[in-house]
Chains A and B, each alone.
Chain A
Amino acid sequence: MYLYDKFRDLIGHGVVNIAVPWFLIVILLYLAVFTCSHNRSLRLRIRRLKQEISELEKISSQVEVSRKVLSSPDERLSAILNTLNTAGKWAGIGLGEVGIGDELERDGYYVLPISLVIKGNYNQIGRFINWIERCDNRIQFTQIRLETKAGRIVCELKGEFIIL
């Protein structure tokens, strides 16, 4: 306080009484600006994080869908039979003989050989194949054989179920 009084006498009461509080105000102003800009950067960071999370959530839901598409090893057979059965129902034909072979290695992936026999008319067979081609691209037919027996068409299909 002694030094402050000396300084005040030297400079003048008014100058000191005005300058000191306003100097403090300048410091407060600086702090206010600093906290304000920090607040702004935090808000921006929050916005970015929220955007990121919402994108990640989208990806997550896509992954969920993809998981279903790719199905786990335990569900492969049921997935194949389910697809064939649904296609048969949709085309209005019954499934005949269905054969699923052992896993074979291809160029960087594996396949399960499939063979099946269906009976119906030309349109029904076409609809059956079309449904599978549209709805499950993991089942890919490589060979087809149509034969007329006793007025009905017997269709032998050979293909693969792709395992990724």
Chain B
Amino acid sequence: MGSIVGLDISDEFIKVFEFLPGENRISCATIRLSVGDTASSCKRVIEIFEKLKLCRDNIVVNLRGSYILARSYQPPLSNKADFEDWFVNNIESLIPSTPIDDVVYSYQRFKSGRVLIAFARLQQVRRQLDFLKSCNIAPQMIDASALALYNVFKEHPWTKQRSDFGILNLGYKRSELLLITGGEPYGVNEIDFGVGYYKKAELKNFVLSLQSVLLRVLSYYKRSAGLEIKKIIMTGDYKRVPGLKKNLKEIMDMDIQTPNPFRLKKISSSAGLKHNPSYTLAYGLALKGLDSEGINLIPYEEQQAQKRLKYRTRMKQLAKKSLIYAGISAFVLLAIILFFIKNNQKFSKLIEKLELRRSTFNTVINENRVISEKLSKLQELSRKRVFWSEFLYHLGSNLPAGLYFTELKSDFRLVSQGKEVVRKTTVQVKGKAKDYKAVLNFIKVLEKEYHNIVIESIKGEGECTFTINLEI
């Protein structure tokens, strides 16, 4: 949230209070107005706003004068819709002797059911708005008189205890007395008396005058509303009258306090603001801007126009931001698209090259197919052949002692085996042995590996010759 500015406007001064919630940044200033010279007053206001670099978007002002009335009522109906009907029907009776069209009104409902109603003459509101407009200020809210003091002292123990007390805001020529009852504002009274009437030699007279004014007001409320006010919080420019609190306390026999308004709301001393009660009301107005709730005396049409303007401004700002983000996004996306397009072109060329290279392998694929067929045929033939080296190794390694070959020859014939024609290989082994036993041992060895073994001849006594046929 941005900073909020409260403008406490009186006939002689404008008190400015700006603070930035959460950051403890505070600016405050008093602008002296030239009575009857609006142009120079405006110039000063503009100068101060520029000098302090004050925010112009979130400003809450107040409207003072005899044409202001702020009072709380207990409506007969507590339901919101019913109350609004009642309010519309009884508005004319609530406004003392003024046509409804000449009045701006606003109300605020409290938890207790009471309703604070504020009225102001439309003419006066417009006059104030015109003045602010000439100062390039469009207030967000206009509060009635010193009602905003309630925002400052909401956390005060008397408010929490729901005591009846008054908040006296002493001004230069005029002052205000805000009455609080049951922890809620009851009404504001404008007093034609202020610290401007004080002269050093006349402290006693000043105190007596203030006492008589206060007693007059308080006795009125005692008579009309039964309010017994015995406690007063004094704020505003009372520091211009040294010893005022002490003397007033003695004369009026009341509990009078002058609490530091900023301490109540926990604005730290690092914010650079000492106890300066002169800005209490301006501070209260700024606090009101923080909630944006409560009495607002800006005419309905103006409020709507303001809302429209605010909406448009916000939308424009949003559009600007959106345009920046959209621009950045577009730039990034375009960069991505360009990158991919370039990359895709490169890939497409690579694919063309690879496909061309692959096409060169077509003949290889065909050749491979033919070769594979040939190789499988060759393997098949290889499986069926006789491994002569194995045969010779087997014969040689199993030859019994005293036996040797003289001749070895093979032959083959084709035999039908079912549907297939199979090659049958026979081997004739001729040799000599020292005796029959050696031949028999040799035959035993052959019988383990081969079949269809036929002894064609064994001749001789002692050393013998033999001829054996076998099939492999």
Chain A residue contacts of B361, Cβ below 8 A: 53, 56-57, 59-60
A42 at the A/B interface (Cβ < 8 Å)? yes
A56 to chain B, nearest CB (A): 4
The answer to whether B322 touches A22 (Cβ under 8 A) is yes
Do A144 and B368 form a contact, CB below 8 Å, given A38-B344, A45-B351, A137-B382?
no
Chain B residue contacts of A59, Cβ below 8 A: 361, 364-365, 368
Q: Give the contact-size bracket for chain A.
A: 35 or more
Chain A residue contacts of B372, Cβ below 8 A: 66
Main secondary structure of the interface of B (DSSP, over half): helix
Number of A-B contacts (CB under 8 A): 176
Distance, CA A162 to CA B383, complexed state (A) = 14
The answer to whether B318 touches A14 (Cβ under 8 A) is yes
Distance, CA A25 to CA B332, complexed state (A) = 10
The answer to whether A148 touches B406 (Cβ under 8 A) is yes
A38 to chain B, nearest CB (A): 6
B392 at the A/B interface (Cβ < 8 Å)? yes
Distance, CA A45 to CA B323, complexed state (A) = 39
A117 at the A/B interface (Cβ < 8 Å)? no
A161 to chain B, nearest CB (A): 11
The answer to whether A63 touches B364 (Cβ under 8 A) is yes
Chain B residue contacts of A137, Cβ below 8 A: 378-379, 381-382, 385
Which segment, of B82-90, B234-242, B409-417, B438-446, faces chain A?
Answer: B409-417
The answer to whether B322 touches A17 (Cβ under 8 A) is yes
B93 at the A/B interface (Cβ < 8 Å)? no
Distance, CA A36 to CA B344, complexed state (A) = 9
The answer to whether B322 touches A18 (Cβ under 8 A) is yes
The answer to whether A145 touches B315 (Cβ under 8 A) is no
Distance, CA A157 to CA B409, complexed state (A) = 10
Q: Which of B319, B351, B367 gathers the greatest number of chain A CB atoms within 10 Å?
A: B319
B355 at the A/B interface (Cβ < 8 Å)? yes
Interface string of B333-369 (1 = CB under 8 A from A): 1101100110110011011001101100100110110
A46 at the A/B interface (Cβ < 8 Å)? yes
B111 to chain A, nearest CB (A): 38
A96 to chain B, nearest CB (A): 17
Distance, CA A22 to CA B330, complexed state (A) = 9
Contact of B396 among A29, A126, A144, A148 (CB under 8 A): A126
A73 to chain B, nearest CB (A): 13
The answer to whether B408 touches A52 (Cβ under 8 A) is no
The answer to whether B333 touches A130 (Cβ under 8 A) is no
The answer to whether A126 touches B326 (Cβ under 8 A) is no
A116 at the A/B interface (Cβ < 8 Å)? no
The answer to whether A13 touches B408 (Cβ under 8 A) is no
Interface string of A107-142 (1 = CB under 8 A from B): 011000000000000110111011001000110111
Chain B residue contacts of A140, Cβ below 8 A: 381-382, 385
Q: Which of A28, A36, A123 gathers the greatest number of chain B CB atoms within 10 Å?
A: A28
> What are 5 A-B contacts with C-beta separation under 8 Å?
A21-B323, A25-B329, A36-B336, A129-B392, A164-B378
